[in-house]
Amino acid sequence: MHEMGIANSILEGVAKELRSRPGSRAIQVGVRIGELAGVDPGSLSFAFEALTIDTPFAALKLDVEYVAPRSRCRECNREFEVRNYELFCPACGSLNSTRISGDELEFKYLEIDEAEDEAVKCCDLEVNKK
């Protein structure tokens, strides 16, 4: 569905980051997606591959951290991870909680090969000429 647009936005984010690091090559990009974000990790990986194939980003890997929602208990203030919609506070058993996260769709990190310094590049050129 809309995963293609999201994959494209990830690539735009990577391209922007690389512009501030001339000569660097992106190897892997990490993103965090909440289970309530409405984004399917499988579809996203598929869209990402489809968009990068035969492009300069072909070797770029996508690392998705799929995270469960978290709630905070209104009785004892404990924060806890919500699995299978079970809203009981693990500390006090109260059902009175408020959802504090779950719809993340954000960047985490970018793994890059740093630009080599000019001297090395020049040598490489010399070698290539031979």
Site residues, other proteins (CB under 8 A): 1-2, 6, 9-10, 12-13, 17, 21, 27, 29-31, 35-39, 69, 71, 85, 87, 96-99, 102-103, 105-114
Buried b (16+ CB within 10 A) or exposed e, 68-99: ebebebeeeeeebebeeeeeebeeeeeeebee
User: Minimum distance from CB of 113 to other proteins (Å)?
Assistant: 6
What would the two tokens of residue 47 be?
């869209």
Q: Of 5 and 56, which CB lies nearer to other proteins in the complex structure? A: 5
Nearer to other proteins (CB atom), residue 8 or residue 55: 8
Please tell me the distance from the alpha carbon of residue 45 to that of residue 104, in angstroms, as a whole number. Answer: 17
